[in-house]
Amino acid sequence: MTVGSITPIMIATTITLTPSRAISTIRLMSNQTPPQFNYGGQAVIEGVMMRGSKSFAVAVRDPNGEIVTHSEPLNSDFYGGWVMRVPFLRGLTLLWDALGLGTKSLMFSAQVAIPEEEKEEAGAIFSGPAQTGLVLLSLSMAIGLFFVLPAFLSKQIPAWLGWDLAPVVINLLEGAIRLSLLIGYIWAIGLMPDVKRLYGYHGAEHKTINAYEAGAELTPASVARFPIEHPRCGTAFLLTVVLLSIILFTLLPPVFTTNILVRIVSRVLFIPVIAGIGYEFIRFTARHQKNPLIRLISKPNLALQRLTTREPDEGMLAVAIVAFQQVLATEFEVAKAGDSLPLQEAPNYTN
């Protein structure tokens, strides 16, 4: 199995959400002692993707009210390899999680939403050049909107207005534009009804992981009591990357500011560096939330999540719990077989 073209033996099941069946399974799993691993996830169309140490699972509610799940093993060479043990460099796995697994999960959730007679083809969308192309397109658009465009505007706007600004001021202006674009984009798409539901599933994902990490029973009623924010959220990562970019680019020598082409190219080349630092920052703050200073530093990240989450209904919580149970089942089987579980931190990723 390779990361770019995943062709493992796929496990796809359909679960009818009845209280007696779904809740009994959830209680059975939650009564066992889970392996120590920081699970993550992402909201998808009418569903949730959850990622463990060895596999990921997607649960989506179809038009008939059933929950369709799909799970796959992760690439052990990639996720268990030396990259995950190297600080800063392992942050690059975050980009793959958010774009690779996230895109595949979104494609699966979209496929589940179509009529029943076409669902047999759902597994086919998990491989092929279309998925790779969509990942590359998404990455290119994100880089263009949040890195190239601010770098261009911060240089050109003062020139259009006849302002002679110092390089450090131009860099601060770039950071302000980048931050405004991020917050504005998140807020604007949140006005769309479909995205509002997506944000509801995002909240369900957070609540489920918060409940699991607190050792609570994984039932909709129990999970609903937990907060919709989570310190390892992908939204927190995005804000961290933006703030780090402001600091880093402001400290760069003027040679990276004066020439527009050099300015844009340098911003793109520094993305892996910023992502690596951002990953370690999120990882560190998530592990030290009992420290008052760390909680204070984390407040902006948690506050921004109010834009990307909504209070989920009971049905959304049930879907998130089923997705999480699919991952837990795999993790328990691995633990029973005597295989060791890697202890890398896995942020919760969101759309």
Backbone φ and ψ of 255, nearest 5°: -60, -25
What tokens were used for 177?
């534009």
Environment class of 25 (CB within 10 Å of its CB; exposed 0-12, middle 13-18, buried 19+)? middle
pLDDT of residue 286: 86
Question: For residue 67, what are the β-bridge partners?
Answer: 15, 61
In tens digits, what is the pLDDT along the chain, a chain of 351 residues?
Answer: 222 222 222 223 333 333 333 444 444 444 444 445 578 889 999 999 998 877 889 999 988 889 999 888 877 776 667 777 788 877 776 666 667 778 888 888 888 866 655 545 544 554 556 666 767 787 788 889 999 999 999 988 988 988 888 888 888 999 999 999 999 999 999 999 989 999 999 999 999 999 999 999 999 999 999 999 998 888 888 889 999 999 998 888 888 777 888 889 999 999 888 988 998 998 898 888 889 999 998 899 889 999 999 999 999 999 999 999 998 887 777 666 654 444 333 333 334
Q: 231 is written with which tokens?
A: 């310190």
Task: List helix spans (H) across 193-310.
Answer: 193-213, 220-223, 234-251, 255-258, 260-269, 271-287, 292-308
Contacts of 226 (CB under 8 A, 6+ apart): 206, 207, 210, 211, 214, 216
Query: Contact 242/145 with Cβ under 8 angstroms?
Result: no
Token pair recorded at residue 327: 């991952």
**CA nearest to 159, candidates 150, 171, 170:** 170
pLDDT of residue 5: 26
User: What pLDDT shows up at residue 88?
Assistant: 80
The pLDDT assigned to 216 comes to 92
Nearest CA-CA partner of 238 in 270, 209, 267, 274: 274
> What does the domain layout of the chain look like in residue ranges?
11-336
pLDDT of residue 334: 62
pTM over 0.75: yes
pLDDT for residue 107: 83
